[in-house]
Structure 1
């Protein structure tokens, strides 16, 4: 009988040893799953943080230029929503080289070598985008750029002093955005829709109250 008991115990130990690889595999799979979902959660958190940071930067940009846009609107009749919307679009939220290095938020060009820089730019010509070298104004402060933009719309160009009068006389941002396109401010065929989109997305029309 004693021999049979010892054999029975050995069989139990053998079965237990045979099950150990299964437990190890299950543990490894669980660790992999925990790691995967943990990493996925970490990645999602990083993306959320990055999105939040970008939004904060955009809000800071609007907060920076809005007071000046309102002041210029009161002085010259340019709708602040148009000023802010163009600044966002033309400067890529202040991140373009022209904006970040030379404080030019509106792609305003010039001819004087003393206060201009030559940079590559894209223009829509004959149904296609082409890259050219353009000479752009350089400013010591972004407020100078904003004032120059207002004066450009009010006084027009050297070859047409009334070029942007439709923009100035517009009663709302939609009419003004259409006028920017028809008056030739930009060559981009989608300029009007882009301006309207950014104004509506960030509720920039609220800054127009009391201007017109």
Structure 2
């Protein structure tokens, strides 16, 4: 008996849909977009944080100047010391009132003393023989910052115990640049860059305006 011939039905293979590839592309683009947004968002966040810190520092600096400038002017009128010099020295010597000597002992000018009853021994850096060295120094302790400012003014007016005329050039200077040069020449600080630092601070914060009317 003859066998029936079998016929095999051939199906045309379907083309794979492009949806899978499209979905992958969308996901990749979303990841890239998320990365870009996150990256620039983070940069903006960092920038904002930095700007905030700078603004806070500026506010603290302004507050410090407002705090001591009225008394600096009063002392300048009474003793003839330029207020710009007094304020700039306080800024540098006390690191804007934040140093241990300033914040705990109200000594804004690094003034030293001999009496153990009103002094405190602290480490400090001095420039000696062409290099910075750390030493122990005995510094004056004050009840408030005004007492420190007045003692600083009297030091410039009366000189040291070994030389009453030591800061005569500072007193005679009616311009802050001349006074800053005289400070270093008369031996107030060992830092070789002291003069330029004083001048830079005065110019940056326009401290010269406090010298008006000082004779």
Q: Would you call these one fold, judging by a TM-score over 0.5?
A: yes
How many aligned positions are there? 205
Is 1:95 aligned with 2:98? yes
In structure 2, the residue matched to 1:125 is: 128
Deviation (angstroms), 1:33? 0.5
Structure-2 separation of matches of 1:18 and 1:181: 76
In structure 2, the residue matched to 1:205 is: 208
In structure 2, the residue matched to 1:84 is: 87
Is 1:145 aligned with 2:148? yes
Deviation (angstroms), 1:201? 0.7
- Unaligned 5+ runs, structure 2: 1-11
Is 1:39 aligned with 2:42? yes
Structure-1 separation of matches of 2:18 and 2:197: 71
Deviation (angstroms), 1:126? 1.0
TM-score, scaled to structure 1? 0.94
Deviation (angstroms), 1:19? 1.7
- Unaligned 5+ runs, structure 1: 1-6
In structure 2, the residue matched to 1:20 is: 23
Deviation (angstroms), 1:187? 0.5
TM-score, scaled to structure 2? 0.92
Larger radius of gyration: 2
Secondary structure of the residue aligned to 1:105 is coil
Deviation (angstroms), 1:21? 0.9
Structure-2 separation of matches of 1:211 and 1:194: 22
Is 1:114 aligned with 2:117? yes
